């Protein structure tokens, strides 16, 4: 009996995910989810307490799937300034490759940005962690602009990802074309390189950043999206 309930709950959660991906967050409702899952809508109330409880269960499951590799601050403490920027560029690009390939996460983010009754922010805990890391890196490289830089880059990439989802072509750039994203990633690396050059110029004493005996920061930990 317990197994049957667990299977039904999972079918309902999966139905929410499919509907969000295919139709958008605004279109989901008790009756439509029940029909999609092939179960009586009473079970949504019985198992989840209602629509919001079901959405919360879906969001919780989605959060588990959004787990990202962490940035190793201790590793960065033993890196040169240029290596730190290259490492961060790799991490940034890999993160948005993953996000670009996750239609469900994109739909929930769009709902959070545009809907009055948006779902819980599935990115809140992750963003809080990254904000702490950004502050630590900013202190490490002695810059007051770290949070502003991260906010600008984060917002730009989210906008481009949502443009792609809505099949928009900013300045005629076809975001459904992998070649377009390759160009964007080249620009991202150039921005990080420019920021490295600016930060290097601003640092009063580069010896404040210790040189490592050995370094292997050519790529970030974890896979790409």
pTM of the shown model? 0.72
Domain spanning 2-65, CATH class: mainly alpha
Q: What was the pLDDT predicted at 222?
A: 47
- Which H or E run contains 14? helix 2-23
Domain regions of the chain by residue span? 2-65, 73-208
Q: Checking phi first, is residue 177 left (phi over 0); if not, alpha (psi -120 to 50) or beta? A: beta
Average pLDDT per 10 consecutive residues for the chain, totaling 225 residues = 84 90 83 94 95 86 68 89 95 90 78 64 74 94 94 92 88 94 97 95 60 49 45
Establish how many alpha carbons lie within 13 A of residue 119's alpha carbon, considering only the half-sphere containing its beta carbon.
Answer: 30
What Cα–Cα distance (Å) separates residue 13 from each residue in 27, 39, 68, 180, 187? 15, 12, 22, 34, 39
Q: What was the pLDDT predicted at 22?
A: 83
Rounded CA-CA distance 142/80 in Å is 13
Q: What was the pLDDT predicted at 1?
A: 61
């Amino acid at each position: 009996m317990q197994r049957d309930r667990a299977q039904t709950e999972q079918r309902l959660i999966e139905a929410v995910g499919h509907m969000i991906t295919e139709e958008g967050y605004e279109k989901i409702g008790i009756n439509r989810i029940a029909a999609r899952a092939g179960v009586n809508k009473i079970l949504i109330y019985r198992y989840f307490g209602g629509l919001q409880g079901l959405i919360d269960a879906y969001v919780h499951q989605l959060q588990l799937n959004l787990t990202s590799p962490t940035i190793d601050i201790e590793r960065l403490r033993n890196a040169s300034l240029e290596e730190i920027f290259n490492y961060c560029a790799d991490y940034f690009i890999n993160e948005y490759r993953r996000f670009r390939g996750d239609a469900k996460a994109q739909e929930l983010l769009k709902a959070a940005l545009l809907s009055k009754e948006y779902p819980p922010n599935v990115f809140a805990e992750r963003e809080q962690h990254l904000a702490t890391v950004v502050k630590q890196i900013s202190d490490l490289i002695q810059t007051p602009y770290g949070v502003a830089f991260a906010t600008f880059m984060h917002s730009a990439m989210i906008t481009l990802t949502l443009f792609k989802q809505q099949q928009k072509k900013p300045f005629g750039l076809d975001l459904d074309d992998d070649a377009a994203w390759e160009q964007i990633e080249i620009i991202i690396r150039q921005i990080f390189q420019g920021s490295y050059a600016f930060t290097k110029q601003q640092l009063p004493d580069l010896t404040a950043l210790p040189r490592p005996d050995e370094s292997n920061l050519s790529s970030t930990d974890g896979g790409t999206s």
